[in-house]
């Protein structure tokens, strides 16, 4: 009987290190072997997409046109509208300039009426404002100290740096 116990104990001892070594190898490989690549900045498109039609609210009806609509207005909201302004406070000439930026990348059908283009402008303001609010909320939720709120409140990104210049 003592021989059976010793044989069971020895076989259990041989299996345990193999099992623990395998799980250790998997854990180490997952946590340290590959780092996530940093997010790259979205590039502005180089070509023009034709919008096939406009729905009742002023948005493009074709999938490709709607995809580019979101891409372009996301870029405008992040890069052309400052983080320190509310989009509702942007004056009409500046809004028109943002709409003209969009016209460089989207081509609307021939014979589009002025009423339809006014609906497109309204949908454009709505899209930019929504994406701008979303972008600003993501900045505020950022765990780093250099969020937009920190910069707005203190005028600097770090307590060791001098205040940011207004230019």
Q: Supply the DSSP symbol for 160.
A: T
Q: Is the pLDDT of residue 145 over 80?
A: no
> Taking 50 as the threshold, does the pLDDT of residue 11 lie above it?
no
Q: Measure the N-to-C terminal CA separation of the chain; round to a whole number of Å.
A: 88
- Checking if the pLDDT of 24 tops 70, the result is no
Predicted confidence at residue 140, as pLDDT, reads: 64
17 band by pLDDT with thresholds 50, 70 and 90? very low
Give residue 93's pLDDT.
Answer: 92
Give residue-wise pLDDT tens across range 81-128: 888 888 888 889 999 999 999 889 999 988 889 999 999 999 999 999
Q: 10-14, 74-78, 131-135: lowest mean pLDDT where?
A: 10-14
> Beta partners for 103?
none
| Greater pLDDT, 13 or 140 | 140
């Amino acid at each position: 009987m003592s021989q059976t116990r010793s044989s069971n104990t020895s076989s259990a001892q041989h299996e345990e290190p193999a099992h623990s070594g395998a799980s250790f190898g998997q854990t180490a490989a997952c946590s340290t072997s590959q780092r996530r690549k940093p997010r790259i900045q979205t590039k502005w498109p180089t070509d023009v997409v034709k919008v096939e039609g406009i729905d009742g609210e002023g948005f493009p009806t074709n999938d490709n046109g709607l995809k580019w609509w979101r891409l372009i207005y996301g870029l405008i909201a992040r890069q052309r509208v400052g983080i320190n302004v509310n989009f509702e406070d942007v004056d009409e000439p500046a809004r028109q300039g943002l709409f003209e930026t969009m016209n460089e990348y989207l081509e609307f059908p021939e014979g589009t009426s002025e009423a339809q283009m006014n609906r497109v402008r309204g949908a454009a303001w709505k899209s930019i404002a929504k994406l701008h609010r979303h972008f600003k909320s993501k900045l505020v939720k950022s765990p780093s100290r250099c969020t937009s709120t920190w910069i707005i409140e203190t005028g600097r990104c770090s307590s060791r740096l001098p205040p940011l210049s207004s230019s």
